[in-house]
Amino acid sequence: MIRSATLTAPSALPSIPDNNRLRLLSGSANVALSQEVARYLGMDLSPMVRKRFADGELYIQIQESIRGCDVYLIQPTCRPVNDHLMELMIMVDACRRASARQITAVIPYYGYARADRKTAGRESITAKLSANLITQAGASRVLAMDLHSSQIQGYFDVPLDHVYGSPVLLDYITNKKLPDIVVVSPDVGGVARARAFAKKLDDAPLAIIDKRRHAHNVAEVMNVIGDVKGKTAILVDDMIDTAGTITEGAKLLREQGAYQVYACATHAVFSPPAIERLSSGVLEEIIVTNTIPVSAENHFPQLTVLSVANLLGETIWRIHEDTSVSSMFR
């Protein structure tokens, strides 16, 4: 069951007339989220034909006039990443050729983000490459949520609004009224994220897991820096992929005397064998958002999926009305 955030549509939000310049389009990656965003804004998704030719090539046609409109294309570039990234670029190109006034790529989850710098010779920086492709396709601006690293904001040569899923996660955690919370970063690279999360939880103490990564998706947990004994530990990360880091970290926290362990992440990537690891019982609860759709067969008792639709809808409305986005997170 997906729970919506407590954010409600502003009372000043008018009904959207047919001749309004705001248009919402959805890619195939997460139609359910797009429909929720549309409901928050009190409008419908623009009709679109999407089909494939016999050789797998994608065909897209927008079924209403968007000439002079501000168009928002909602498409996380999640698995299959290549297909969804290409679909987003074709949608952007279709809007550009249909004379849209402004085209905003709304990317709840930005794929290829982990290769954000060179760590060895002869590597590609795919986070920058993807940004170039989206920009060159014709996107006027980008709205992204919880990018893997903050420097990716600078990879786009168009304006980018970066929003966070943390208000939705924090609202849920706060309402649970958990005792003796300590926020834990699963690695040194996530300390800033965990510190910001802890600050919002009445300046909860912070702990760090010292981790060594020997290969992609392979991590060895080494040590816990900080006191977790007898406390409720909340592991905070931007994404859960194969869940190796989260589950090994949870085991170590329990060995160090943590009373119970929760995990919070914005993006539920859930590559195999994530489901088996997360449902093993080492974590009290895994709290994620619906930036990436979680299929019914991947749900398990410890999983809670929260909706970021209201947050994205409010951000889209503020961009459209030229009002502050950053004030939402103060």
Q: Is the pLDDT of residue 219 over 60?
A: no
Choose between 99 and 223: higher pLDDT.
99
Q: Which of 229, 225, 167, 226 is nearest to 201 (CA)?
A: 167
> What is the full DSSP assignment across 198-266?
HHHTTS--EEEEEEEEEETTEEEEEEEES--TTSEEEEEEEEESSSHHHHHHHHHHHHTT-SEEEEEEE
What's the whole-number mean pLDDT along residues 271-296? 97
Q: What's residue 114's pLDDT?
A: 94
Does residue 211 have an active-site annotation? Answer: yes
Task: Report the number of secondary-structure helices (H) and strands (E) in the chain.
Answer: 8, 15
What's the whole-number mean pLDDT along residues 197-220? 82
Q: Which of 51, 128, 177, 211 is catalytic?
A: 211
pLDDT, tens only, 123-141? 999 999 999 999 999 999 9
Q: How far apart are CA 34 and CA 45, in angstroms?
A: 8
Cβ–Cβ < 8 Å for 283, 245: no
* 155 and 277 belong to one structural domain: no
* 26 and 158 belong to one structural domain: yes
Q: Is the pLDDT of residue 262 over 60?
A: yes
Q: What's residue 212's pLDDT?
A: 67
CATH code assigned at 28: 3.40.50.2020
Cβ–Cβ < 8 Å for 131, 67: no
* 300 and 219 belong to one structural domain: yes
Measured CA to CA in angstroms, residue 190 lies from 135, 249, 320 at distances of: 28, 13, 32
pLDDT band of 329, cuts 50, 70, 90: confident
pLDDT band of 20, cuts 50, 70, 90: confident
Q: How many structural domains comprise the chain?
A: 2
Q: What percent of the chain has pLDDT over 90?
A: 87
* 186 and 297 belong to one structural domain: yes
Retrieve residue 168's tokens.
């939705």
Pairing of strands 58-62, 48-52: antiparallel
Q: Is the pLDDT of residue 70 over 50?
A: yes
pLDDT band of 1, cuts 50, 70, 90: low
What's the whole-number mean pLDDT along residues 116-127? 94
Domain that includes residue 130, residue range: 2-164+310-329
> Measured in Å, how far apart are the chain's first and last C-alpha atoms?
29
* 280 and 240 belong to one structural domain: yes
Retrieve residue 35's tokens.
């429909």
What's the whole-number mean pLDDT along residues 288-296? 97
Tokens 């994404």 belong to residue: 239
* 132 and 276 belong to one structural domain: no
pLDDT band of 254, cuts 50, 70, 90: very high
* 72 and 118 belong to one structural domain: yes
Cα 309 off chain centre by: 11
What's the whole-number mean pLDDT along residues 252-258? 95
pLDDT band of 211, cuts 50, 70, 90: confident
* 98 and 210 belong to one structural domain: no
* 16 and 160 belong to one structural domain: yes
